[in-house]
Structure 1
Amino acid sequence: MADLTLLGISGSLRAGSFNRKLLAEAARRFAPATYLEGDLQLPLYDGDLEEREGIPEAVRRLTGQIAQADALVISSPEYNKGVTGVMKNALDWISRVEGFPMQDKPTAVISANAGRTGGETGQYMLRACLVPLRPAVLEYPLVMVAGAKDHFDANERLVTESYARTLDTLMTRLREAAQAR
């Protein structure tokens, strides 16, 4: 399978987010592939809104990208010892769409944070939140970039060799899982 599609999803909306930089780095290391980035600018999940208007178009677009992708890479910071609200909201909306678009989809979870744990607690919580959606989450290696500002250069490239090697290994495993489907 030569023409793979990789979907990147960032749990941070900020344009200069270290998690967006880490996603871009992951996509480069996964290549060659068509790379798409999901947009988590979604309305807050509200059952009344869903009942009144159905699934919002932005959610349908995101779940369509998920269905189209051969593999997913999710990069999300940790906020207050947990998963970001943006990410949790997206997962709640995704769970409302028929057909489990993430089911069995090879998925890598990575994180970059300003703090010294690299988003460890948030990443573990994210992994737990993914369980009901049924993706095939790779368990290792764990990529958690701590003190993120010190590990990217002016061109937004990951420059710390230990993190780069670990990300290479994870993206190789993700590519293999996608090709095996």
Structure 2
Amino acid sequence: MKIIALSGALRRASYNTALLRAAAALAPEGVTIELRTLHGIPLYDGDVEAEGIPEAVTKLREEIRAADALLISTPEYNNAIPGVLKNGLDWLSRPSGEGSKLFGGKPTGLIGATPGGFGTVQSQDALLSVLRAFGNDFWMGGRLMVSRVGTVFDADGVLVDDKVRAQLQQFVQGFVAFVQARAV
């Protein structure tokens, strides 16, 4: 099984990217979780689209299409989805109708991390609203919202919190089981 793990953050030391790296390390045997970011995707502009879909968008789209599932890790900026993630999804849904072709029925899981104390509940809820329009097959059996993430990872982005590691491992195992059940 191949899962594309999409980070909703661009920062080199992103906690959400680190959370996805930790998830990949916890994947069960026979499952690969491949990290992808939104680097290189320009701001959405209909004039740019009219000239052709950017290569970075096309490449990410094909990787998601070829994967068995999608795992998104989102930060929470001002109680919502980060602009870079929304922009990436907007591009992936172009031209009109591409979103449902790409995401329709795609098993999808959401996780997130933030330095704040409330986790990423509002960002994840807002993201569900956006992706629901595409027809993703969401795993609703588990959510992972890591708060106070600065205490969970060390300076090198390594997960050092055993409780969060156990929660992440449980999430990954549950999500993999969900994807496997869809493949039958």
Structure 1 and Structure 2 fold alike (TM over 0.5): yes
1:167 counterpart residue number: 168
Matched, 1:48 2:13: no
Task: Report the more deviating stretch, 133-142 or 122-131.
Answer: 133-142
Q: Secondary structure at the match of 1:82?
A: coil
5 Å-filtered alignment, 1:1-181, equals 4-32=1-29, 33-41=31-39, 42-51=41-50, 53-97=51-95, 98=98, 100-154=101-155, 156-180=157-181, 181=183
In 2: Cα distance, 1:34 partner to 1:144 partner: 22
Contact 1:76 1:84 in 2 (8 A): yes
CA RMSD of aligned residues (A): 1.7
Q: Secondary structure at the match of 1:123?
A: helix
Task: Report the more deviating stretch, 85-94 or 148-157.
Answer: 148-157
Query: AA paired with 2:20?
Result: L
- In structure 2, stretches of 5+ residues that fail to align are none
Structure 1 residue 72 displacement after superposition: 1.3
Between the two proteins, the alignment pairs up a number of residues equal to 177
- 1:44-88 residue CA offsets vs partner (Å, 9 max, x unmatched): 11112212x121111110100101111211111001111000100
- In structure 1, stretches of 5+ residues that fail to align are none
Contact 1:11 1:75 in 2 (8 A): yes
Contact 2:113 2:145 in 1 (8 A): yes
Contact 1:138 1:174 in 2 (8 A): yes
- 1:141-161 residue CA offsets vs partner (Å, 9 max, x unmatched): 221110101012355333333
Q: Secondary structure at the match of 1:79?
A: coil
Structure 1 residue 175 displacement after superposition: 1.1
TM-score (norm 1): 0.89
In 1: Cα distance, 2:158 partner to 2:9 partner: 18
TM-score (norm 2): 0.88
Structure 1 residue 30 displacement after superposition: 2.0
In 2: Cα distance, 1:71 partner to 1:44 partner: 25
Contact 1:108 1:137 in 2 (8 A): yes
